[in-house]
Amino acid sequence: MPQPLPAAQTPMARRYAAGRRAVLFAFLALAIALPSMVGNASELNYAILVLMIAQAGVAWNILGGYAGQVSLGHAAFYGIGAYTSTQLLLQYNLSPWLGMVAGGLVATLFALAIGWPCFRLKGHYFAMATIAVAEILQIVVTNWDWLGGAVGLSLPVAEAGWRGFVFNKSNVPYYYIMLGLLLLTLGVNLLIERSFLGYYFRAIKDEPDAARSVGIDLTRYKLIAIACSSFLTAIGGTFYAQKELFIDPGSTMATSLSIKIALVAILGGVGSLGGPVVGAVILTAIEESTRAMFGGTGRGTDLIIYALLIIGVAVYYPGGVTGWWRELERRWFASVAERHARAGP
């Protein structure tokens, strides 16, 4: 039985905590300096892809990780963010930055509307309901001419700079914007994790009946979780629209996107702050590697590898990669404590 990590007041624990903070600051410094270190535009674009799916996975983690409500329909919120900001720009010439906020608010209202009936369902029934809602929304958008239908919508491609959120000369601004959105999403997760909401969400996830018995309104706090998660997911959708300058239902509302958003959190470690980021690095590497190795002939290979990874995680390490790492930390601390005990005072 692995021993718990040492108490926070011990010198070993303080050194360990200081070491973790140093590692986190080092990773942040590396992320900030990365554009000046990469060799070409394709490598920078790869980094942006990692940040994009990581941000969506961290947003999903609020609902699926902390609150335990596994949604497989988050692409609906992603698409709402993309379509709202795009239409506001095309129809009313509204700044994409304001459109990003508007898209988040529209996605939040939609999430609250569907969350009220869907949260009456439990377990896999809730997951199935979220898939159905996302599929229905995709069909509606596909057949709605005002939203471009199946053809999609193209955004203005002229260089507009920071004010207009369009950069043609370099992807570096896109990188820093996406890094900022990821840090914002991580910050919201951290605030939730350390507030009463985090305790309530974990209680709802682990012991819903006990949580209800002590007066926690399960539906109310599930709605808070899906509201936060949908807003943050939608702002990622706006970023996608501005970076690609083209959206259609297949790219922003596909079920495969919903599954990928959930997978990065599940593989990295649900309910952990950095788990979705780790999962995003791994899954994006798999996706890009299979595309480079097999091209069009290997279509779907990445999904097979995803499936094998998830099976392995579910069987051997339900806590994901971060859970596996914590297990190694516990074993290391247990061995150190044992050696100290044998050595004596």
Write down the pTM of the prediction. Answer: 0.89
Confidence of residue 276 (pLDDT cuts 50, 70, 90): very high
Q: Where are the beta strands (DSSP E) in the chain?
A: 153-154, 246-247
**153-164 average pLDDT score:** 89
pLDDT digits (tens, 9 = 90+) for 282-325: 888 888 777 777 665 556 676 677 777 777 777 777 778 887 77
Sign of CA dihedral 57, 204, 123, 228: negative
**263-274 average pLDDT score:** 88
pLDDT digits (tens, 9 = 90+) for 42-61: 889 999 999 999 999 999 99
- pLDDT at position 341 is 65
For residue 302 the two structure tokens come to: 């990445």
Cβ count within 10 A of residue 282: 18
Q: Among all chains, which residue has been given the structure tokens 């239409």? A: 87
Which tops the pLDDT comparison, 122 or 336? Answer: 122
Write down the number of H helices and E strands in the chain.
15, 2
Confidence of residue 178 (pLDDT cuts 50, 70, 90): very high
Instruction: Give, to the nearest 10 degrees, the angle between helix 255-268 and helix 75-92.
Output: 130
Which of the listed ranges 120-134, 147-161, 180-194 does the model predict with the highest average pLDDT?
Answer: 180-194
